[in-house]
Structure 1
Amino acid sequence: MANVNGKPKGSAKRKVNRKLDKVRLALFILFAIVVVQQVYTIYSLHQEKHQLEQQLQELKKENENLSEQKKLLEDDKHIEGVAREELGLVKPGEVPYVR
């Protein structure tokens, strides 16, 4: 059976179906691209978070070490020891000797 233009009725439906299939395929590809981008972004952020956590741990250790050094530098006995051992200083009345 033919329609008004002389073409079979099924031909028009097939064209519409092909167009719909193309639109569906384009939407699926677009959706897949968006999903892949989001997954990559999440992965990158996870990696950055891991790096920052490691950096934080290193900085905490460094902060602890610096706090210990600060305590030593505020201790008069430690300062005196450094002055005597490393700088060779003596108290008034003491006789310096060389090792």
Structure 2
Amino acid sequence: MIAISATDKKLTAPMDLRFGRAPYFFISDGEESRFIVNPYCHEETDVAPRVVKLLSEAKVDKLITGEVGPKAHTSLYKNRIQIIMLDEERIKISQVLRKIKF
């Protein structure tokens, strides 16, 4: 199961370069896909561990995003979620999906 940080709940929306502050995540296993809301994107502290827990509960094992801070990196590693970082600004979720293989 993959997760892509997203700026909106549309495939035409850009990937959000900020992992913990992304308002949405696009989640897919290659057959079924959905968007989930990141309820922690506006919190001030300890965002990363809570977002990682959210993704872990959704059975995510790969994360595609732009930036991952040290706390998030540690938490993702502990939860066995692979990090794939893209630095392409304004790349759409649909474009990311074309680049990956399930």
TM-score where L is the length of structure 2: 0.15
* Greater relative contact order, per chain length (Cα 8 Å cut-off, separation 6+): 2
* Greater helix proportion: 1
TM-score where L is the length of structure 1: 0.15
* Greater strand proportion: 2
